[in-house]
Structure 1
Amino acid sequence: MKRSVFKAAASTCIVAMTMAGFSGPSSAMRRGNEPVRATSPDDRRAEALHEEGARALQAGQFDAAREAMEQAVALSPRDTGYRQLLADIYLKSGRFTSARTTYADVLELDPSNDRAALSVALIQIAQGNPRAAVTRLDDIAGRAPDADVGLAYALAGEHERSIRLLERAARRPGATARIRQNLALAYAMSGDWRRAQAIAAQDLSPAEVPVRMVQWAAFARPGSGPVQVAGILGVTPAEDPGQPVRLALSAENAPAFAEAAVPETVVAGAGAAPEPAPAPVQVAAAEPAEAPAFWVPTAQAYQAPAEVPVEAGQAPAEQPAPAPEVQVQYASAARTLTAPEPTLIRAAATTRAPATVFHRERPHVAIRDGQAPVVVQLGAFSSERNAERAWLQVSSRYDIARAPLTATITVNGRQFHRVSVSGFASAGDAQRLCGRIRERGGACFVRGTAGDASIRWAARYANPRQRDV
Structure 2
Amino acid sequence: MMSHRMILSLATTALAAGLVAGCAQGSVHPGQSAARAQSALTGGEAVKAVALAEQAVLADPRNPGYRMLLGSAYLRAGRFVAARQAYDDAMELGQDDGKVALSLALTDIALGHPDVAVDTLGTHRQQIPVADYGLALALAGHADQAVEVLTGAVRGGDDTPKTRQNLAYAMAMAGHWREARDMAAQDVPADQLTARMAQWAQLNDPGNMRLRVAGVLGVPGQIEDEGQPTALALANFPAAGAGQAVAQAAQAATAQAAIGTTPASPPAATQAPVLASFAAQELPAVDNGAAQPQVADASAAPTAEKLAAIDMPPSSASGAPSAVASANVPAWAIAPRPGTTHAAAPVITGRLRPADRADRAPALVAKAAQARVATLAARTPAMPAGTHLVQLGAFSTQEGAHRAWRHYLAINPALKGYRPVITAAVVNGKQFWRTQAAGFASASPARSLCGSVKAKGGVCIVLANPVANQPGMAPTIRFASNRR
TM normalised by structure 1 equals 0.49
Which structure would you say has the larger RCO, counting Cα contacts within 8 Å and 6 or more residues apart? 2
Q: Normalization by structure 2: what TM-score?
A: 0.48
More helix by share: 1
